[in-house]
Amino acid sequence: MKAFAQLFLSLDETNKTNEKVKILKDYFISVPDSDKMHMLALFTGRKPKRQINATLIRNWAIEASNIPAWLFEESYHVVGDLAETMSLLMPPNTSGSNKTLTEWIAEINTLGHKIEEERKLWLIGSWAMLDTQERFVFNKILTGGFRVGVSQNLVIKALADIAGLEAATLTHRIMGSWMPETYQYKQLIAEQGIADDISRPYPFFLAYPIQETSERQRSAEELKGVLGDASHWQAEWKWDGIRAQMIKRDGKIFIWSRGQDLATDKFPELHPFLNALADGTVIDGEILSFRGGLPLPFNVLQTRIGRKNLNKKILEESPVAVIAYDCLEYAGEDIRPKKQSERRHVLEQLQAATAFPEVFRLSALISFNSWEELAVIREQSRSMIAEGIMLKRKSATYQVGRRRGDWWKWKIDPLSVDAVMIYAQKGHGRRADLYTDYTFAVWDGDQLVPFAKAYSGLTDQEINKVDNFVKRNTIEKFGPVRTVKPELVFEIGFEGINRSTRHKSGVALRFPRILRWRLDKPKEEADTLDTLKALLGG
Amino acid sequence: MPRKPLLEFTDRGIYCDKGKFYIDPWKPVDSAVITHAHADHAYPGHKHYLAHHLSRQVLLYRLGNISLQTVEYGQKIIKNGVEVSLFPAGHVIGSAQVRVAYQGEIWVVSGDYKVNDDGISTPFEPVKCNHFISECTFGMPVYHWKPQIQIFNEINSWWRANLDHDLATVLVGYSLGKAQRILQNLDLFNGKVYTHGAIENINQALRNSGVWLHPTERITSSTPRDEIRKGIVLAPPSAAGSAWMRKFGPHNLGYCSGWMAIRGAKRRRAADRGFILSDHADWDGLISAIEATSCEKVYLTHGYTATFSRYLNEIGFDAREVHTLYGGEEEENMVKDDVLNSDETKVFPATGDLEGAGVL
């Protein structure tokens, strides 16, 4: 654990990419293989199962810190991270421990069989033998909230260098669900990949935004300048559902979300079509709710995500289907190196042969002859219930991750309204102890009605100014939330809007964020609820 | 009729009606007693100033030609029958707590303070009083400072490692206080110390006051870049990320501040390296300082005032929040922005206590 805690500290102590890769390599070289796999699991979001419930951990930490519970909560709002708060509040350790990361995780995993009193004794005892930094990473593992300031790509780059493998190969080998207890480092880096896990998905190829960070629209002319002749490109609608990879191998089916969650059980409607596919077939596509052959807005799909049990009512109200984009494996062969147009041909044949065309749909190609023409078609996106247009170079292979060049997303302008900030709350992580999470309202007569929360879109400098405003203009405090004097106006952008009975305003927004601070607008000139409702459409 | 309290909190600052003077007022007044020379405590525009000897040159440098009387720690001044004396606050060189006494009633205004000896400021001295007006910039139990020797060992080995990796070293700390504290603890066998103009001006003012500081070299447009890269650069926070800093070539940027104790705050400041070094008292420091005064009432001026006063009341003190414009987390004031800008333009480098303002 000492090496792992030091790794965390060292990564925190530099902002330079090369330095981070070096630190990661040093770590990999110095620890046993089993620690390497545990680190890899943690750094790629495979958190161990939580063995003690968070409330108990919190209560025992309060006890160990010997402070009142309210002060612990206040401290948490200042620190913005539970694991770190606990590690800072406890008295210094009284002894030390040389257990490895593997040994600690093994101990944690046995807790499931113990009674509460035993767990508590174990936890208090463990805290007492770890220093502040070790305690911090230990708490992170225990509470499962493991986020590091280093991307998976960097970790893979470091490990690929050491193992002498291509980064793309390694990325593929760590996809899917594996346990660091059983997946051996030797297997991971074996020269010939072992066809060990039939459920393993391929890394997703992600599109790069045409607009990049700015919200400024690109003209057809600019597109031509960057992408060249329109005839080299294939265009499809950009659907707003759940990006998924569907696998049929050895008579078994697997549905993976982009976040690498195995979601096979969540979509029973798709099972018949997947079961009917030949073994050794992998399809990339978007899962959406459909009715009468038409896609429904994302919020309909949202009602069934996260449900443990899919009852009949939900399946009837929000039936799903797949819009297939691509075929990655055919007849057991990885066809990702083939051209886009060739893979498209394979996909079309697969779809033509299906007995389930209602659920196995093809992402239609948009026919266009020039960028100008496509720009006009793109204006219809919202009525198509699409987010914009996807552009794929016809000669492109299926690549790994988000990269510039062959796949682009050309989204439509977000909808927007001008709204007044009325509540503020402190942020987490690097925004800890700063008021960065805001609630916005629009006018309904002379009342301000809250309709959206957003916590991104401002520069650091603007955040400092708003934070300052909040601290000086607080009307009331409700726990961590402050009611703020309504004064500041912001332009709020969002991708979609739907009716909602759960919100006071009667609407729910998709991806709300701050587009800009309207310093030029007094609060009286913010938009009204009627303006917002007019965006609902028919 | 109950007697009016000796000190009261007004919209100009802390006021003694009996003695007709203010302590650290933020609006122009006739008579001001100044705890220390940071911009959020020493405002321009007063008719007359009273401060400690060691603040003299810095105040004159920052505020221009003011009418200024300076005294030793412990020396008694009578203002309209009210006794005023200064006691060391340990915050920065020349910083003082102000003791105000009249007919047996004693008030102490802490200004900003820390209880651990930093080796350069006169160490904090507890003063018995009935009413204690305290800061609480770091008044949360998550703040615990390590002994400074440990931090300076980290800083010096970081500097050495940068030299080994052919990286320039830039260390950020505010101009009055932190910069000198760092300077006196650097391992000069590593190399020379180069300073930003805003820091060197303060160094000069302190040297003129008779303070002995390690040798430093002011960076000018003609200072050779290669020489700077072999030493260490001390810079104020406003210089971080500026064009001025980029001209040193590849460098490692270190920040010295109490805020570095929290990972999120450290990440926000985008420094390569954060060193937890503060000129304010930590949680235990605040509580021990308040206990040592044996006071009946505590008033909290800036920092986590709401949380800290609630806790003090729970453990048996009579504590309350008061509204002031001193730098601090909860009531950060807009003057700080001006302070930052002025440091950049160097027209009027009235650097405040940026750490207290949560900026550094």
Q: Tell me, what CATH number does A237's domain have? A: 3.30.470.30
Residues A382-408 pLDDT 10s = 888 898 999 999 999 999 988 889 999
Chain A: closest CA distance from residue B273 (Å)? 5
Residues A291-315 pLDDT 10s = 888 888 888 888 787 777 888 888 8
Whether the per-residue pLDDT at A479 is higher than 60: the answer is yes
**Domain spanning B8-143+280-345: CATH 3.60.15.10:** yes
Q: Give ranges for CATH 3.60.15.10 in chain B.
A: 8-143+280-345
Does one domain contain both A134 and A230?
no
Does one domain contain both A473 and A332?
no
To which H or E segment does residue B32 belong? strand B31-33
Stretch B273-286: mean pLDDT, rounded? 95
Please indicate, yes or no, if residue A497 is contained in any of the structural domains. Answer: yes
Burial of residue A530 (number of CB atoms within 10 Å: 0-12, 13-18, 19+)? exposed
Stretch A466-481: mean pLDDT, rounded? 86
Please indicate, yes or no, if residue A462 is contained in any of the structural domains. Answer: yes
Nearest chain B residue to A16 by CA: give it.
B272
Please indicate, yes or no, if residue A196 is contained in any of the structural domains. Answer: no
Residues B105-151 pLDDT 10s = 999 999 999 999 999 999 999 999 999 999 999 999 999 999 999 99
Please indicate, yes or no, if residue A103 is contained in any of the structural domains. Answer: yes
SS3 category, A313:
helix
Residues B235-244 pLDDT 10s = 998 888 788 8
pLDDT for residue A285? 97
Does one domain contain both A22 and A110?
yes
Task: Give the model's confidence band at B356: pLDDT under 50 very low, under 70 low, under 90 confident, else very high.
Answer: low
Q: How far apart, in whole angstroms, are the C-alpha atoms of residue A329 and residue A336? A: 7
Does one domain contain both A84 and A212?
no
Residues B51-85 pLDDT 10s = 999 999 999 999 999 999 999 999 999 999 999 99
Q: What is the ipTM of this complex?
A: 0.89
Contact B44, B27 (CB under 8 A): no
What's the CATH code of the domain at A516?
2.40.50.140
What b/e sequence results for A80-98 when a residue is b if at least 16 CB atoms lie within 10 Å of its CB, and e otherwise? Answer: bbbbbbbbbbbeebeeebe
Give the structural domain span for A84: 2-143
Residues 6+ apart with CB under 8 A from A156: A167, A170, A171, A174
Chain B: closest CA distance from residue A212 (Å)? 23
Residues A95-134 pLDDT 10s = 999 999 999 999 999 998 899 999 999 999 999 999 999 9
pTM, full prediction:
0.81
- Judged by CB atoms closer than 8 Å, whether chains meet at B268 and A16 is answered as no
What's the CATH code of the domain at A127?
1.10.3260.10
Class of domain B148-275: alpha beta
- Judged by CB atoms closer than 8 Å, whether chains meet at A149 and B265 is answered as no
Count of A–B CB contacts within 8 Å? Answer: 77
DSSP per position, A262-279: B-GGG-GGGHHHHHTSPS
Residues B321-355 pLDDT 10s = 998 888 642 222 223 333 333 333 332 333 445 56
- pLDDT: which is higher, A458 or B278: B278
pLDDT for residue B264? 85
Half-sphere exposure of B71 (CA within 13 A, CB side): 20
Chain A: closest CA distance from residue B267 (Å)? 6
Does one domain contain both A420 and A405?
no
Does one domain contain both A216 and A337?
yes
Please indicate, yes or no, if residue A151 is contained in any of the structural domains. Answer: no
Burial of residue A234 (number of CB atoms within 10 Å: 0-12, 13-18, 19+)? middle
Instruction: State whether residue B267 sits within 8 Å of chain A by CB.
Output: yes
Torsion angle (degrees, nearest 10) of CA B52, B56, B62, B64: 120
Does one domain contain both A398 and A420?
no
Q: Using CB atoms, pick whichever of A15, A71, A467 lies closest to residue B272.
A: A15
Task: Give the model's confidence band at A535: pLDDT under 50 very low, under 70 low, under 90 confident, else very high.
Answer: confident
Does one domain contain both A66 and A12?
yes
- Judged by CB atoms closer than 8 Å, whether chains meet at B144 and A70 is answered as no
Q: Give ranges for CATH 3.40.50 in chain B.
A: 148-275
Please indicate, yes or no, if residue A91 is contained in any of the structural domains. Answer: yes
| Structure letter (DSSP) for residue A414 | P
Does one domain contain both A34 and A118?
yes
Stretch A476-501: mean pLDDT, rounded? 88
Contact B59, B34 (CB under 8 A): yes
Residues B165-211 pLDDT 10s = 999 999 999 899 999 999 999 999 999 999 999 999 999 999 999 99
Does one domain contain both A340 and A212?
yes
Please indicate, yes or no, if residue A154 is contained in any of the structural domains. Answer: no
- Looking at the structure of chain A, the number of domains it has is 3
Residues 6+ apart with CB under 8 A from A441: A419, A420, A421, A422, A448, A449, A450, A451, A486, A526
> To probe the interface with A, which of B136, B138, B140 has the most A CB atoms within 10 Å?
B140
- Judged by CB atoms closer than 8 Å, whether chains meet at A81 and B141 is answered as no
Contact A343, A351 (CB under 8 A): no
- Judged by CB atoms closer than 8 Å, whether chains meet at A433 and B265 is answered as yes
Q: Mark which of A359, A382, A411 sits at the end of a domain.
A: A411
pLDDT for residue B358? 52
Q: How far apart, in whole angstroms, are the C-alpha atoms of residue B48 and residue B31? A: 5
Q: Using CB atoms, pick whichever of B142, B266, B334 lies closest to residue A75.
A: B142
SS3 category, A147:
coil
Q: How far apart, in whole angstroms, are the C-alpha atoms of residue A411 and residue A478? A: 39
Judged by average pLDDT, the poorest of A12-16, B112-116, B128-132, B283-287 is A12-16
Q: Mark which of A392, A411, A430 sits at the end of a domain.
A: A411
Please indicate, yes or no, if residue A158 is contained in any of the structural domains. Answer: no
Q: Using CB atoms, pick whichever of A14, A65, A429 lies closest to residue B264.
A: A429
pLDDT for residue A139? 95
Residues 6+ apart with CB under 8 A from B24: B13, B14, B32, B33, B34, B35, B41, B42, B43, B109, B111, B326
Does one domain contain both A380 and A452?
no
Pull the structure tokens for residue A483.
Answer: 């009611």
pLDDT for residue A480? 81
Task: Give the model's confidence band at B314: pLDDT under 50 very low, under 70 low, under 90 confident, else very high.
Answer: very high
pLDDT for residue A432? 80
- pLDDT: which is higher, A193 or A218: A218
Does one domain contain both A305 and A223?
yes
Residues A222-242 pLDDT 10s = 889 889 999 999 999 999 899
- Judged by CB atoms closer than 8 Å, whether chains meet at A81 and B264 is answered as yes
pLDDT for residue B2? 67
- Judged by CB atoms closer than 8 Å, whether chains meet at A75 and B141 is answered as yes
Task: Give the model's confidence band at B100: pLDDT under 50 very low, under 70 low, under 90 confident, else very high.
Answer: very high
Count of CB atoms situated within 10 Å of the CB of B198: 23
Q: Are strands A513-517 and A489-494 parallel, antiparallel or unpaired?
A: antiparallel
- Judged by CB atoms closer than 8 Å, whether chains meet at B272 and A13 is answered as yes
Q: How far apart, in whole angstroms, are the C-alpha atoms of residue A277 and residue A248? A: 7
